[in-house]
Chain A
């Protein structure tokens, strides 16, 4: 129990490492990679702590598994929170309304994300999957471009069908 609580407590190191690394490198677009570096550093600290506290114990492997599981849990939790700050749609709407004090829906779409406009949001998603080589853009046409994208679509469509989830998105 102590190990789980300790691993949760030291998860405060994830944002600390992440913010430190971002402010050391100061390169746009490195945020996600640096987040994974922070995860590795945090997991490493967790393993070291487990080694120091439970050295010589017969159940040391069990403690490693506990530490690792708790660390992965906290990393995924952090990933979700960071994604909400960096990409959250509702969060951006609320922030835009706060900055502009009051906005009509039309003006909100026009001014979305510091004046980039709502279409920029869809463009950003399309560019994101293009950068992952899942699609290709040629003039006005967008095409699925790798076996991996076919696999994702197949899995996703069947997952939604089995759980009766509707189209989503």
Chain B
């Protein structure tokens, strides 16, 4: 190992952080286990030690339609995500026009049209209608 840093070396603090981060909670839990008195009663084992009575099962059912909405949302989230760097590239004129046609604009247009077709598909297939 010579003195020069390679890319992985920059991660050494991160790795140390991960190790310490893993050790601290384990140590804390172990310390509690060793030091504290172990007296298990009914109240102690219930969900809320403060005395609140749990009223029903923890497994709550969500409507599966949320899933479709979430997917459509993610698609347009990603679109915005793409638009930001595109604006930067477009403004700095990093991508030249070829034959009078701006590649940056055409590329983004194609991208948006593809998304629009997807949206149209969702609407026609009634993915966005709440039943």
A, B assembled together: no
